Amino acid sequence: MNLNIINSRKIWFSISGTLMTLSILALLVWGLKPGIDFTGGSLLEISYETNRPAMTEVADNLANLNLKSLKVQAAGDNNLLLRFENVDENTHQQILAQLKNQANNSGLVEEQKFESIGPTVGLELKNKAVVAIILVLICILAYIAYVFRQVSRPVASWKYGLAAIAALFHDILIITGIFSALGFFLGIEIDTLFVTALLTILGFSVHDTIVTFDRIRENLFKIHNQSFIEIVNRSVNETVIRSINTSLTAILVLLAVYIFGGESIRYFVLALILGFIVGTYSSIFIASPLLVWWNKNK
């Protein structure tokens, strides 16, 4: 199989440019909907002796209290975690009373902990999340520039790192744009799990990109009768099946978790699925074509 991927780079750049533009517009117009991890809120853990009710039943039971950003998730065999915006002590006691009434016996429900996350802590988490992503990108750039230091012709080694960073920026921007739209239309909030998903996507995507770049490096040393664009296209073709197969196996597992897993990790898994798809696309159709584009326009 010999796909003419590199010569069709204008098509791939146009697709990515459109998606990135839509993502930027979504972020500017709608922004992201932060969860209580970033805005502050309350965390209540309760335990049941027997017959823990379904999470949807608990949420419906507390609907009359108008708890904002309420999320219910399982913890262990008989515990539930409830997250919601900060409430006063009176509302706290009302929540406990309704949960005990739902169990038909006040002795069946026991409060394990109740704690609040202030807005200052939430802001600190947000800042640390941004710093973590920036540090990861800087480390990736430095690592790739060092590893490819012996490949300085016809493209400088640091440009391999810059191409990888551009592909990663492409991935992160599109995923955050999608979740901006999901937050506006479906009310989906982002939390620390979303940041974890972004960091995981960064690692997966750059791994895929480095495999392709490494094949380019090998072929540059072995092949001397072909142009740079031909070597890059050959290298991408030699790794494209491997990249797709690796991504598909991971996505199939994630789909199973998304369908059969708990509600608390559903959107974390969704972010990973979308990120793996976009990351595979960028490693094949964005990162390597960028090297050729820089070489032709240097």
Domain CATH for 273: 1.20.1640.10
Q: Are residues 107 and 128 in the same domain?
A: no
Same domain membership, residue 124 and residue 85: no
Calculate what percentage of the chain has a pLDDT beyond 70. 95
* Same-domain pairing of 153 and 10: yes
Average of pLDDT values for 13-38? 92
pLDDT at residue 115 in the model: 81
The pLDDT score that the predictor gives to residue 106 is: 42
The sign of the CA dihedral 105, 103, 77, 50 is positive
Closest among 73, 79, 44, 43 to 56, alpha carbons compared: 73
- The answer to whether position 280 is within a domain reads yes
Is the pLDDT confidence value at 152 over 80? no
| Between 227 and 120, residue with greater pLDDT | 227
| Assigned domain for 1 exists | no
Which residues are bridge partners to 34 per DSSP? 190
| Residue 230 or 53, more confident | 230
pTM: 0.83
DSSP state of 34: B
Residues 230-247, mean pLDDT to the nearest whole number: 92
Whole-number mean pLDDT of the chain? 86
State how many domains the chain has.
Answer: 2
Answer whether residue 148 shows pLDDT above 70. Answer: yes
Residues 195, 147 share a domain: yes
| Domain span at 156 | 6-33+120-296
Stretch 157-161: mean pLDDT: 83
Residue carrying structure tokens 């002796």: 49
Q: Is it the case that residue 235 has pLDDT exceeding 50? A: yes
Per-residue pLDDT of 132-144, as tens digits, reads 888 888 888 888 7
